[in-house]
Amino acid sequence: GGYWIEDAEAPVGTPTSSDSSFCEEEEAEVLGPGGGGGGFGYRLESNSTARAYRKHFLGREHINYYCTGSSLGNLIMSLKHEECEGQEFLRIMLRSKTKTLHDRIPLEGLPQLPSVPQIAKGSHLIVSFDEHEVNNTFKFGMIYQKFGQTSEEELFGNNEETPAFAEFLSVLGDTIELQDFKGFRGGLDVSHGQTGSQSVYTVFRNREIMFHVSTKLPFTEGDVQQLQRKRHIGNDIVAAVFQEEPTPFVPDMIASNFLHAYVLVQAENPCTDHTTYKVSVTAREDVPPFGPPLPNPAVFKKGPEFREFLLTKLINAENACYKSDKFAKLEGRTRAALLDNLHDELHRQTQATLGLGSVTDEDKLENGGHGGLLESFKTVWRCVWGVSRSHTAHAVLVCVAGVSVYYCVQMIQMPSA
């Protein structure tokens, strides 16, 4: 397929790849030490629904339901009662194999809602499912393109890091030694030096970023394709391309099934007090637009604002690429499998709690070594027959009340981690 090119003159407010089904107040980014954000207002686009369960449900009283629909497949729903400014609301999260819906609706006018037992120990399973798509580590290709280079072999054959390119790399992050590196390695070898000795790494808004810099990856004499370099950059989803002089860049010159978006950066007046960078963006036609939008003209002075814009653009580009046809199909299969596993595990735990299914040693330990809620009531009923007839009713009441309180506490308390 073809590629689109971002228009710097496009009106502000162009739709982006962020498609959360319900958006409340925007999450505040942590911009303290290590956060890496400079506060220039460039917004990281993400699906806020992925973290909605952790933010609004986890550690709070709520109810989880699960069922199987004839056409929709397995469904998992979370409900929570809320009050705000004297008005009552019902917060809902509904998960299907295709997407998760999140909304908050007023209770006024709704009929009486039925109550069902809460699923024991379900919260940690649900939050794991919701956040399976949350990513705090990124790897981006970093390609150096000399003037007049128009082929993949020429791009991957560059070994020289000019002062202008080195200056640009210092804007992206820190040059780190790969040997024994403890941070996110992005697939690079940190033990045996097989992917070079150095790379560029940074932490930005609590996200770790490793750059696969073409000139720092191993160069193999006699290998025209430089497969060592292409193996890493060709498996990235987004790449930045650095130029010192105007040179046409055609995305198809790099053969890759994974690369879906490119951010081109052209230096002007490099290594001076007046260094600026001209930015352009292109992506495959099935990748939705992503922010922050390019200003007009799309030229930035070297400094913190340019760094924040560029890193935000790269992260948003990768998140948008996941919505392209290729990656959306992969995510759809993964999501459906994880939802089925979640449904089955919630059902298994509920059966174990009620003593209706097979009980593992772990379940026995968690449930105090007995056969579940129903079996406990049977045991209580058998025990009371040994009590004198005059005290039978009182004994039944005390025993049943005790067991009920124990199970209510176990099922209503939702794990907070």
Rounded Cα distance, 58 and 319, in Å: 25
CA distance 369 to 381: 18
d(CA 53, CA 29) in angstroms, rounded, equals: 18
pLDDT band at 366 (very low <50, low <70, confident <90, very high): very low
Would you say residue 222 lies in a domain? Answer: yes
How far apart, in whole angstroms, are the C-alpha atoms of residue 7 and residue 263?
Answer: 13
Write the DSSP assignment of 143-198 as a string of letters: EEE-TT--SHHHHHT-----HHHHHHHHHH-EEEE-TT--S--TT--SSS-BTBSE
Give the C-alpha separation, 66 to 342, whole Å. 9
Q: Are residues 36 and 87 in the same domain?
A: yes
Long-range contacts of 334-339 (CB under 8 A, 24+ apart): 334/132, 335/97, 335/98, 335/132, 335/133, 336/73, 336/97, 338/129, 338/132, 339/73, 339/74, 339/76, 339/95, 339/96, 339/97, 339/129
The per-residue pLDDT for 405 is 37
For 280, the 3-state DSSP assignment is strand
Distance CA 46, CA 315 (A): 9
Q: Which CATH number does the domain housing residue 54 bear? A: 3.30.1120.160
Burial (CB < 10 A; 0-12, 13-18, 19+), residue 312, is buried
Residue 334 domain-assigned (yes or no) = no
Mean pLDDT to the nearest integer, 400-409: 39
- The verdict on 287 and 318 lying in the same domain is yes
Residues 143, 230 within the same domain: yes
Please give the pLDDT value at position 384: 39
CATH of the domain at 310: 3.40.50.11210
Q: What does the pLDDT average to over 383-406?
A: 41
The reported pLDDT for the residue numbered 353 is 61
Is residue 57 included in any domain, yes or no? yes
Residue whose C-alpha is closest to residue 343's, from 82, 73, 79: 73
Token pair of 350, please?
């509920």
Q: Do 205 and 59 reside in the same domain of the chain?
A: no
pLDDT value, residue 71? 76
- pLDDT tens digits, 291-323: 999 999 999 999 999 999 999 999 999 999 999
Taking only the tens place, the pLDDT of each residue in 177-228 is 999 999 999 999 999 999 999 999 999 999 999 999 999 999 999 888 999 9
Return left, alpha or beta for 148; rule: phi > 0 is left, psi -120 to 50 is alpha, else beta.
left
- Residue written as tokens 């739709």? 15
Give the end of a domain, one of 306, 323, 340. Answer: 323
Above pLDDT 70, what percent of the chain? 73
Residues 173, 224 within the same domain: yes
**Residue 66 pLDDT > 60:** yes
Give per-residue pLDDT as tens, 242-289.
999 999 999 999 999 999 999 999 999 999 999 999 999 999 999 999
Residues 59 and 164 in one domain: no
Rounded Cα–Cα distance for residues 15 and 71 (Å): 31
Domain boundary among 122, 153, 181: 122
Same domain, 306 and 184: yes
CA-closest candidate to residue 244, choices 314, 164, 190? 164
Mean local confidence (pLDDT), 88-109: 85
Q: Which secondary-structure segment (H or E) carries 224? A: none
Report whether the peptide linkage leading into residue 106 is cis, meaning its omega lies within 30 degrees of zero.
no
27-36, 79-88, 142-151, 347-356: which range is least confident on average? 27-36
- Note whether residue 356 is domain-resident: no
What's residue 415's pLDDT?
A: 41
Reply yes or no on whether the pLDDT at 413 is more than 70: no
Residues with Cβ within 8 Å of 233's Cβ and at least 6 positions away in sequence, in order, are 141, 142, 143, 156, 212, 214, 217, 239, 254, 259
The predicted model gives 75-95 an average pLDDT of 86
Whether 262 is in a domain gets the answer: yes
Q: Is the pLDDT of residue 402 over 50?
A: no
Average pLDDT, the chain: 79
- Domain span including residue 116: 19-122
C-alpha span between 197 and 220 (Å, rounded): 15
C-alpha to C-alpha distance for 202 and 48, rounded to whole angstroms: 24
Residue where one domain finishes, among candidates 267, 293, 323: 323
Residues 6 or more apart from 340 whose CB is under 8 A from it?
A: 73, 74, 97
Question: 94 and 223: one domain?
Answer: no
Structural domain contains residue 383: no
* Residues contacting 180, CB < 8 A, separation 6+: 190, 191
Sign of CA dihedral 368, 369, 372, 373: negative
**Per-residue model confidence as pLDDT tens digits over 152-168:** 999 999 999 999 999 99
174 & 308 share domain = yes
Lowest average pLDDT, out of 56-60, 63-67, 118-122, goes to 118-122
Residue 343 lies in a domain: no
C-beta atoms surrounding 365 within 10 Å: 9
Do 141 and 260 fall into the same domain? yes
Q: Report which of residues 377 and 141 the model is more confident about.
A: 141
Residues 37, 30: Cα–Cα separation, whole Å: 8
pLDDT band at 27 (very low <50, low <70, confident <90, very high): very low
The reply to whether 30 falls in a domain is yes
Q: Helix crossing, 392-412 with 373-384: angle to 10°?
A: 160
Task: Name the band, by pLDDT with cuts 50, 70 and 90, for residue 33.
Answer: very low
- Which amino acid, 375? E
Q: Assess whether 85 and 40 both reside in one domain.
A: yes
Residues 58 and 152 in one domain: no
Taking residues 46-57, report their average pLDDT: 85
Under the banding of pLDDT at 50, 70 and 90, the label for residue 388 is very low
Q: Domain count for the chain, please give it.
A: 2
Q: In angstroms, rounded to a whole number, what is the distance separating the alpha carbons of residues 417 and 415? A: 6
* Residue 206 burial class via C-beta count within 10 angstroms: exposed 0-12, middle 13-18, buried 19 and up: middle
